[in-house]
A and B are shown apart, each in its own frame.
Chain A
């Protein structure tokens, strides 16, 4: 079903939709403007001058990370595929565990602004930098597209407007916000949006459970909600589940908009604390989409068709409450959904614009603003030309692509002395071609590829392949190991000095 058709078939009270969308857009812009007033230096603009406290930063990461796929997609997927869908939130959350273990503190200590900066500093190669930039831009664009699809669905369901209005509205608000305040103001916006998204699901969930409890209506229908008979998709094979989990676990640690957040921590230790808090915040959040999905299996089974399932979260409150109460709760979840597209898209646009402007517009603030427009226009066109079937699935493909390209670069760059620029470039290109090629082929084959799990979920073989190529080529080009490798690795892994030590060392004579 196209977003327009879902909107026609399951339309809600338009006034509610307008109110919710307007509220989120205005609040986002107001916080962005407030942020602009305190965003003073280029450092503020790009990485909030690296002074964001762990709780703020963790909320901001949560706000940025919880996209349309999490807010709408997870519940929709539980509606149609039951327990198999539970692996999505697990992967989305546990990805942060991998990020904490292998990337968080070293990346913060690298002192880079973006992943391409890291690649250049570590490999001392402009070519490696260019390839990394290109991949970051591709990943960012591909990730924004499902957000815009989610916006199309939400806007056409809640307001009855044509599907193209949603993506356009998101793009306009995001551009205005990003161009205005840069990273500093975006941090406030994102932190606010995590809590908005959590409340937007938690409050309706509490009311729904209360009502079901008071009226004695079924919550799980005596366990009937959990039977596999309600699934409308075939059960996932062990291969496709493990491939998905690999993609989500290792894709998270290459996502550009997530990584850029780690540069805003004051030091490596606080980068670790931030990640720990993010894990907790995400764990709490995902309980609610799961709950909505389970309730959806009883109260919105008619949505269990491709394209409509993602509307579960939006439709559920109206199915349980009539009249004003239903409208109010629907407005709540709509606001949360809109916040999800806005925050993820603006996070992506900030990190993309950072990369694009440094690559093509000499890194100025004006260049950053131009780059922001450019970074949103391409995905807008892509989103308007394509149709979404399942949000969680299309985001999963982006994770697989990241896990096969940027993840090996980061992991080997941080932990292995032997990485060379030639190896890194070869590995990233191999991963990009293999993973991108499989996903594209599967998309072109359409329904014929339904049984070809290795094409639709390629991460299980493309991630090891990318690592292997990177290691083999690096070994073959041993002579190209950067001279500064030891120095860079020492910087990545040694702790920053405590404040007093730092202050003392400035007055001592230099040893070299």
Chain B
């Protein structure tokens, strides 16, 4: 594979395009990139109060994730357990399609999307609450 650089005009002439750069630094010796951070976030990271607030954000996010994952898994495990307990459900059909096929082939997908949507909303709300707390402090 040849490098096509010689065929193009020097990139720096067009201000809208970022110049082509050559980066050769081994990532192993690189510091974690610092990036741009808002002052509020710096404070949250360094002060004792900030640490408490961040800790509570992490805990509430983890609790939320565990609750959603747990709920989903219980329903998922519930399907084979239910079919095992009440084998007569297997005989029920909708348009000739047996209920186990419907549940596993169709039903689980809307369920997982609903769980995901619920989580995205609640997680953003947790973050918003954190942001408000930091802004006040």
Contacts and interface: CB of A to CB of B under 8 A. Distances in A.
B69 A98 contact: yes
A179 interface: yes
A86 B26 CA distance: 45
Contacts of B43: 511
Contacts of A287: 105-106, 109
Interface in B17-37: 17-28, 32-33, 35-37
B89 interface: no
A129 B100 CA distance: 45
B116 A41 contact: no
B88 interface: no
Interface string B22-63: 111111100011011111111111100011001001100110
Interface stretch (A99-107, A142-150, A311-319, A456-464): A99-107
Contacts of A510: 39, 42
Given A40-B11, A494-B54, A273 B39 contact: no
Given A180-B1, A283-B112, A415 B62 contact: yes
B132 to A, nearest CB: 11
Given A83-B104, A101-B65, A279-B113, A365 B22 contact: yes
B117 interface: yes
A50 to B, nearest CB: 10
A497 B76 CA distance: 37
Given A101-B65, A490-B54, A497 B17 contact: no
A238 B113 contact: no
Interface residues of B, dominant DSSP: helix
A223 B22 contact: no
A223 B77 CA distance: 25
B85 to A, nearest CB: 12
A107 B49 CA distance: 25
B115 interface: yes
Given A40-B17, A94-B76, A86 B105 contact: yes
Given A272-B123, A508-B39, A97 B115 contact: yes
A120 B112 CA distance: 33
Contacts of B105: 86, 287, 290
Nearest to B41: A494
B96 A223 contact: yes
A14 interface: no
Interface residues of B, number: 70
Nearest to A33: B4
Contact of A497 (B33, B38, B104): B38
Interface string A475-505: 0000000000011111101110100011011
B40 A497 contact: yes
A280 interface: yes
Given A415-B62, A494-B130, A220 B117 contact: no
B6 to A, nearest CB: 14
B24 A121 contact: no
A505 B135 CA distance: 13
Nearest to A508: B39
Given A223-B96, A241-B80, A280-B113, A100 B108 contact: no
A446 interface: no
Contacts of A111: 32-33, 35
Contact of A83 (B39, B41, B100): B100
Nearest to B17: A40
A501 B98 CA distance: 55
Nearest to A94: B112
Contacts of A49: 18
A415 B128 CA distance: 20
B58 A493 contact: yes
A405 interface: no
Given A111-B32, A223-B97, A369-B1, A90 B131 contact: no
Given A90-B76, A363-B23, A490-B54, A101 B112 contact: no
B84 to A, nearest CB: 8
Contact of B28 (A126, A245, A290): A126
B96 A506 contact: no
Given A93-B109, A490-B44, A490-B54, A505 B22 contact: no
A473 interface: no
A510 B40 CA distance: 11
Contacts of A117: 27
A490 B97 CA distance: 50
A321 interface: no
B7 to A, nearest CB: 11
A94 B108 contact: yes
B119 A101 contact: yes
B1 A179 contact: yes
A223 B98 contact: yes
Contacts of A83: 100-101, 104
Contacts of A98: 69
A132 B40 CA distance: 33
Given A36-B4, A180-B1, A276-B117, A511 B39 contact: yes
Contacts of B1: 176, 179-180, 369
Nearest to B25: A363
A502 B4 CA distance: 37
Interface string A143-167: 0000000000000000000000000
A269 B124 contact: yes
15 contacts: A94-B72, A100-B120, A105-B123, A238-B84, A269-B127, A276-B117, A362-B24, A364-B22, A488-B32, A489-B54, A490-B44, A490-B51, A494-B44, A494-B130, A510-B39
Given A40-B18, A226-B96, A283-B110, 12 more contacts: A41-B23, A86-B105, A93-B109, A94-B76, A101-B68, A112-B32, A180-B1, A238-B84, A358-B27, A362-B25, A497-B40, A501-B40
